[in-house]
Structure 1
Amino acid sequence: MTSDDEWTSSVRAHRLSYEVFCNEHERAWRGLARARLHDHRLVERAVRDIRDELRHRWAAALREPAPAGYAWMVAKRHVADLALWTDAGTAPPRAVLPDWERALRDAWPCDRLAPPGLDDHERLHAAILRLPERQYDMIVLRYALGLAYPAIAVHLGITEAGARTTAAQGLDKLHRLLGADTAALEDMQ
């Protein structure tokens, strides 16, 4: 093969792996955008921007120790930029709250996400937004999107044990923010 032929096949392989990678991880990026932006057009824009940046920096992303972790950081930056730009990072507008409520009610496992008896999903959403960054990521990935701990560990560039610990800490902090009795909640876990 000539060097041009090698480059052409390499570019084709990179393009294929890029598409497969994006298709595998887009659900998490879309979930992150939905949890923060609450507007379908902004969610689609965020996902498109994430894919575009990764396409332009694909070779560099592949050199990262954890390409999925790198992509998650790119996704968080794009979503945060759009949230700041649109002021959508605070409480969701009343018009879209039912979509967020449905996502929270369908969260897996729903009995662990919110304390028993909490019917105020707007309050739950506000508490989730107040979590530290890593715990927020964990709540979105684990409970809103239902990803397994091994997949979360890949996204966040941590061990599976670290993902489990962060999930427990995130739930504990979320329940404290909601004023729940943590002793009663420990019995549920």
Structure 2
Amino acid sequence: MESSDYCGAVYRAAEAAICLMDFNAGRVLYEEYLRKCGETPGAWHGLAICLERLGDGEGSRSAYKRALELHLRDGDARNLLWASWCALKLGMLNEAYELIRKSLSLDPGYAYSWHTLALIAMKLGRRDEANEAMARYREVLSRAPYDRRECEGLRMLLDVAKYLVRVGGDVARAVRELLVKGLRYNRAISCNIEVPGDLLNA
């Protein structure tokens, strides 16, 4: 088992990869985490997303199933939200609906949960409920807007990049690849994040 510092850095970089939509780098980082740091629902869920986007249907289903088991084991509002997404990806619409309703009963103040309910309700033909959930999503989001996903990803990456590029191997290569993509987003969508000039050469 690797140190908690290393595991935390790899996980944060893997989350950044999802935000930056670099699913190959994400796969490398989540697999490294699961191999050296142990199982967490978030790591299996992140790996499932990456494998799905890379076209590995069988691998993604297996990862979603394991993520669902672990999310349900924890059972708090946020884990139930992500469990609902796993169930949705596995074609378990009714289970996904029950899980997101339970998540919202525990924490109605998280905007993305309302967005998730809107999506699932629409798939189930519950149009009125979907419209109401989307209205609640916009209401909650207006009080606490999200940072742009790409900007959030670059910020997470910069927190751990110098440490991880010194590790070498596949992890360092994945992080350098993410840095290049993150810097493009920083210029293209004006994240206005100050990036140390020597970072890519670290």
TM-score (norm 2): 0.29
